[in-house]
Amino acid sequence: MNFSKDNFTIGHLDFIAKNYDLGLDFYVDNNWLLNFINKFKFSNKINVFHKKIDLNLIDNKIKISPVIVYVDSFALWEITHTPHFIFVIKKIKEGYEIYDPWDGKVRIINPEILLKGIVNLRDLLKYCPQLIKKS
């Protein structure tokens, strides 16, 4: 993880891709982060894309496999505003089935909560929303 200090996510994805021979798609929400990430030399098993992270993208990607999404944890826990990764497993009638590593549980959240987590991450915390999926 030679460059994890420069970008936590791409550093960890590089480690996983190289050590577990896994292809990954990494979606970032803004051009600045895309250009910053592309300055690094990382595994060719990682595909980086610039795409607005929203419910439409999530819906499209979870048809294939679960995804990891970067959100503001306040939308989920209403404790503190902090960046947080969650797994979005699938879309169901009631909303989204997610796995939250914070408590280790699978639960259902409504679409408004997931969207609020993404929007707050972008607009309130000023972090770039991100989505990760297996290629």
How far is the C-alpha of 10 from the C-alpha of 5, rounded, in Å? Answer: 10
Q: Which residue has the tokens 């969207």?
A: 115
Q: Domain locations in the chain?
A: 8-134
CA-CA distance, 18 to 77, in Å (whole number)? Answer: 34
Q: Tell me: the pLDDT tens digits for 70-129? A: 999 999 999 999 999 999 999 999 999 999 999 999 999 999 999 999 999 999 999 999
Question: pTM value?
Answer: 0.92
What confidence tier does 5 reach under pLDDT thresholds 50, 70, 90?
A: low
For residue 96, which of 45, 52, 61, 121 has the smallest C-alpha distance? Answer: 61
Residues 6+ apart with CB under 8 A from 92: 108
What residue has token string 């639960």? 107
